[in-house]
């Protein structure tokens, strides 16, 4: 008798979908390889090269044969450098025992949710949110509770909005400021109120500090610098955007010791250590000269100041001025309902096919009237792409 093959997949894998930002990148890449002249506003990564001092540190690591396994949670020198950088930048006092080095900030977020969330737990996530949050919470068996922010108020989140969404089952609140995709920055006072609210109720406050150095009007700040924060605040950090190192895959978690231990345990049975060479590169990034960060920020500001007014020139399009990160999040609802375009997914799809411009549809971030434009690309590409976008929208009229 032929045995029945157990070909069904585990139920948990059906709770997640392929990252929409990755989908857009793959489609833009496919078209480009077919010879199409695509303008790519989809990629959420700096267009700058990794600074030379960082590259040299990696080359040196190879030459010195630093090419073997390291401890699963990363080398102690790098953990120390992460803690010291965080102290210098934000006045916190983490120790290496609080730190885990992982394969990018995304991996930190995944490990953290796996370590903390289980079936029945609720996780509060402000909308618009970064795509991955929803999927990693679902994968862990938790339930997402979305808190809608309003475009008319600059997508600003308040503590009162969070408070309304808390229940006895809330285990964690996830904050990302500056926010991907809207570029909104949480007011410091509101952030502090959210911290006091969550710590009073014994709820974890996860702060994704991915874009914390890219702020246009305020100084970098970490909620973890408040007294008592190290008990309930969980930090997901990364060198990816700050130092133009997206491909190196180094992120870090700063958490209470028992959680760092839990993440370390999980990581020891999955990826083991992040690449040894990339760890040495990240060490140089965190301990070497920091001026490249300011240079990139100044360039992002120049581009933001071009992109947003240019978007606002397109009839029917509105766009908030982002206070941080490198994304604009225009409202393109003027195009919905025209020539068969019903959703922002349709819009992004048709824009790519008919005008060869890649953007990420708002549906990916939990809103249904926007698209995300990454301005981490050259001024020439921004001009070309925005001209095409304008023509595309005008032709729908
Ligand atoms: C909000 C946010 N958090 C975390 C990450 C993860 O970055 P990485 O895994 O490249 O370090 C990203 C990347 O796009 C992001 O936008």
Q: Whose CA is nearest to atom 2 of ligand 1?
A: 210
Does the beta carbon of 44 sit less than 6 angstroms from any atom of ligand 1? yes
Does the beta carbon of 176 sit less than 6 angstroms from any atom of ligand 1? yes
Does the beta carbon of 130 sit less than 6 angstroms from any atom of ligand 1? yes
Does the beta carbon of 210 sit less than 6 angstroms from any atom of ligand 1? yes
Other beta carbons within 10 Å of 269: 8
Question: What percentage of the chain reaches a pLDDT higher than 90?
Answer: 91
Q: Whose CA is nearest to atom 16 of ligand 1?
A: 180
φ, ψ for residue 225 (rounded to 5)? -80, -10
> Which tens digits make up the pLDDT trace of 123-161?
999 999 999 999 999 999 999 999 999 999 999 999 999
pLDDT at site 29? 87
Distance of CA 196 to the CA centre of its chain: 24
pLDDT at site 194? 98
Query: For the chain, how far is it from start to end, CA to CA, in angstroms?
Result: 64
Which atom of ligand 1 is nearest to 250's Cα?
Answer: 11
Does the beta carbon of 246 sit less than 6 angstroms from any atom of ligand 1? yes
Q: Which residue's entry shows tokens 């190290």?
A: 230
Distance CA(186)–CA(201), nearest Å, equals 21
> Which tens digits make up the pLDDT trace of 295-347?
999 999 999 999 999 999 999 999 999 999 999 999 999 999 999 999 999 99
Does the beta carbon of 126 sit less than 6 angstroms from any atom of ligand 1? no
Does the beta carbon of 207 sit less than 6 angstroms from any atom of ligand 1? no
Is the model's pLDDT at 5 over the cut of 80? no
Which atom of ligand 1 is nearest to 239's Cα?
Answer: 11
Distance CA(295)–CA(158), nearest Å, equals 31
Tokens linked to 18: 């392929």
CA of 109 from ligand 1 middle (Å) equals 9
Cα 44 to Cα 86, 131, 380, 396: the distances in Å are: 24, 12, 18, 28
φ, ψ for residue 58 (rounded to 5)? -70, -40
pLDDT at site 22? 75
Does the beta carbon of 251 sit less than 6 angstroms from any atom of ligand 1? yes
pLDDT-derived band at 24 (thresholds 50, 70, 90) equals: confident
More confident residue, 5 or 272: 272
Non-local (6+) Cβ contacts of 196 within 8 A are none
pLDDT at site 317? 97
pLDDT at site 17? 85
Which atom of ligand 1 is nearest to 240's Cα?
Answer: 11
Distance CA(151)–CA(365), nearest Å, equals 13
CA of 313 from ligand 1 middle (Å) equals 30
pLDDT at site 2? 66
Q: What is the mean pLDDT of residues 242-270?
A: 98
pLDDT at site 202? 96
CA of 105 from ligand 1 middle (Å) equals 5
Non-local (6+) Cβ contacts of 294 within 8 A are none
Which atom of ligand 1 is nearest to 208's Cα?
Answer: 3
Does the beta carbon of 106 sit less than 6 angstroms from any atom of ligand 1? yes
pLDDT at site 337? 94
- Omega cis (within 30) before 218: no
pLDDT at site 9? 87
Q: Which residue's entry shows tokens 């001025």?
A: 321
> Which tens digits make up the pLDDT trace of 373-391?
999 999 999 999 999 999 9
pLDDT at site 39? 96
Q: What is the mean pLDDT of residues 75-80?
A: 98
Cβ atoms of 267 and 100 closer than 8 Å? yes
State the alpha helices, DSSP H only, in 202-318. Answer: 257-268, 276-287, 291-312
CA of 32 from ligand 1 middle (Å) equals 24
> Which tens digits make up the pLDDT trace of 104-126?
999 999 999 999 999 999 999 99
> Which tens digits make up the pLDDT trace of 340-356?
999 999 999 999 999 99
Is the model's pLDDT at 8 over the cut of 90? no
Does the beta carbon of 170 sit less than 6 angstroms from any atom of ligand 1? no
Supply the mean pLDDT for the chain.
95
Is the model's pLDDT at 27 over the cut of 90? no
Max Cα-Cα span within the chain: 71
| Residues β-bridged to residue 238 | 251
Cα 354 to Cα 284, 338, 375, 378, 396: the distances in Å are: 44, 15, 21, 22, 12
> Which tens digits make up the pLDDT trace of 44-64?
899 999 999 999 999 999 999
Tokens linked to 254: 């700063």
Is the model's pLDDT at 184 over the cut of 70? yes
Q: Whose CA is nearest to atom 14 of ligand 1?
A: 44
Does the beta carbon of 237 sit less than 6 angstroms from any atom of ligand 1? no
Does the beta carbon of 208 sit less than 6 angstroms from any atom of ligand 1? yes
pLDDT at site 7? 66
Task: Let me know if 69 is exposed, middle or buried by CB neighbors in 10 A (0-12, 13-18, 19+).
Answer: exposed
């Amino acid at each position: 008798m032929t045995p029945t093959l157990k070909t069904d997949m585990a139920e948990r894998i059906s709770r997640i979908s392929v990252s929409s930002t990755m989908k857009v990148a793959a489609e833009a890449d496919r078209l480009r390889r077919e010879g199409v002249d695509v303008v790519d506003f989809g990629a959420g990564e700096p267009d700058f090269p990794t600074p030379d001092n960082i590259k040299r540190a990696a080359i040196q690591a190879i030459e010195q044969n630093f090419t073997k396994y390291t401890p699963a949670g990363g080398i102690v020198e790098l953990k120390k450098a992460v803690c010291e950088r965080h102290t210098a930048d934000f006045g916190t006092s983490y120790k290496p025992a609080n730190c885990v080095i992982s394969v990018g900030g995304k991996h930190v977020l995944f490990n953290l949710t796996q370590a903390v969330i289980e079936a029945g737990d609720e996780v509060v996530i402000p909308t618009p949110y970064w795509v991955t949050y929803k999927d990693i919470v679902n994968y862990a068996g938790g339930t997402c509770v979305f808190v809608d922010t309003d475009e008319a108020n600059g997508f600003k989140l308040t503590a009162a909005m969070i408070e309304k969404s808390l229940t006895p089952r809330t285990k964690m609140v996830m904050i990302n400021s500056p926010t991907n995709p809207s570029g909104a920055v949480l007011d410091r006072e509101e952030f502090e109120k959210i911290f006091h609210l969550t710590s009073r109720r014994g709820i974890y406050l996860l702060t994704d500090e991915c874009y914390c150095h890219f702020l246009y009007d305020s100084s970098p700040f970490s909620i973890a610098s408040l007294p008592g924060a190290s008990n309930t605040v969980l930090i997901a950090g990364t060198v990816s955007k700050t130092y133009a190192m997206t491909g190196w895959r180094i992120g870090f978690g700063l958490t209470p010791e028992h959680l760092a231990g839990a993440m370390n345990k999980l990581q020891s049975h999955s990826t083991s250590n992040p690449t040894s060479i990339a760890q040495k590169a990240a060490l140089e990034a965190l301990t070497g000269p920091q001026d490249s960060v300011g240079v990139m920020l100044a360039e992002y500001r120049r581009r933001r100041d071009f992109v947003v007014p240019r978007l606002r020139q397109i009839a029917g399009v509105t766009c908030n001025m982002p206070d941080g990160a490198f994304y604009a999040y225009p409202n393109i609802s003027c195009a919905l309902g025209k020539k068969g375009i019903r959703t922002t997914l349709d819009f992004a799809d048709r824009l790519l096919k008919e005008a060869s411009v890649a953007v990420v549809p708002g549906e990916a971030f939990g809103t249904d009237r926007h698209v995300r434009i990454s301005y981490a690309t050259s001024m020439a590409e921004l001009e070309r792409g925005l001209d095409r976008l304008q023509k595309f929208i005008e032709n729908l009229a």
